[in-house]
Amino acid sequence: MGASQGGVGRVSRLGLDGGCDRRSLRLLCGGAARNVRDSVPRLQVSADRPLIGGHVSTRGGIDKAVDNAQRIGAEVFQTHPTPAQTWTPLRLDDIVLGVYKEKFARAGLRGHYLHAVYLVNLASPKASLVKQSVGSLVHYMQLAERLEADGVVFHPGSHLGAGFEAMLPQMGAALREVVVRSATTRPLLLVENSAGSGGCIGCSLEEVARIVEGAASDRVAVCFDTQHAFASGYDVHTAEGVAHTLSELDRLIGFDHLALVHANDSRRELGSNVDRHANIGDGEIGSEGFRLLLADARVRRVPWILEVPGETQDGPDLVNVNRLRACAGRPPAQPEAVAAV
Per-residue pLDDT at 337: 59
- Within 8 A by CB and 6+ apart from 185, the residues are 145
Per-residue pLDDT at 29: 42
Question: Distance between CA 41 and CA 59 in Å, rounded?
Answer: 30
Question: Distance between CA 251 and CA 230 in Å, rounded?
Answer: 18
Amino acid of residue 285: I
Region 181-196: mean pLDDT is 97
> Bridge-partner residues for 115, per DSSP?
153
270 to 171, 230, 236, 312, 315: CA distances (angstroms): 28, 5, 9, 26, 23
Residues 56-79 have pLDDT tens digits of 999 999 999 999 999 999 999 999
Per-residue pLDDT at 98: 98
Region 244-273: mean pLDDT is 98
Choose between 306 and 36: higher pLDDT: 306
The model's confidence at residue 17, banded by pLDDT at 50, 70 and 90, is very low
pTM attached to this predicted model: 0.87
Per-residue pLDDT at 28: 40
Q: Does position 161 have pLDDT exceeding 70, yes or no? A: yes
The model's confidence at residue 45, banded by pLDDT at 50, 70 and 90, is low
- Within 8 A by CB and 6+ apart from 160, the residues are 123, 124, 125, 126, 199
Using alpha carbons only, how large is the chain's radius of gyration in Å? Answer: 19
Q: Does position 43 have pLDDT exceeding 50, yes or no? A: no
Q: Report the mean per-residue pLDDT for the chain.
A: 88
Question: Distance between CA 55 and CA 43 in Å, rounded?
Answer: 17
Question: Distance between CA 326 and CA 287 in Å, rounded?
Answer: 9
Per-residue pLDDT at 74: 98
Residues 127-145 have pLDDT tens digits of 999 999 999 999 999 999 9
Choose between 161 and 190: higher pLDDT: 190
Region 1-5: mean pLDDT is 30
Task: Walk me through the domains of the chain, giving residue ranges and CATH numbers.
Answer: 31-327 (3.20.20.150)
Question: Distance between CA 291 and CA 288 in Å, rounded?
Answer: 5
Q: Does position 14 have pLDDT exceeding 80, yes or no? A: no
Q: What are phi and psi of 52, to 5 degrees?
A: -130, 135
Residues 196-252 have pLDDT tens digits of 887 899 999 999 999 999 999 989 999 999 999 999 999 999 999 999 999 999 999
Burial class (CB in 10 A: 0-12, 13-18, 19+), 292: buried
What DSSP designation does 88 have?
P
Region 256-276: mean pLDDT is 98
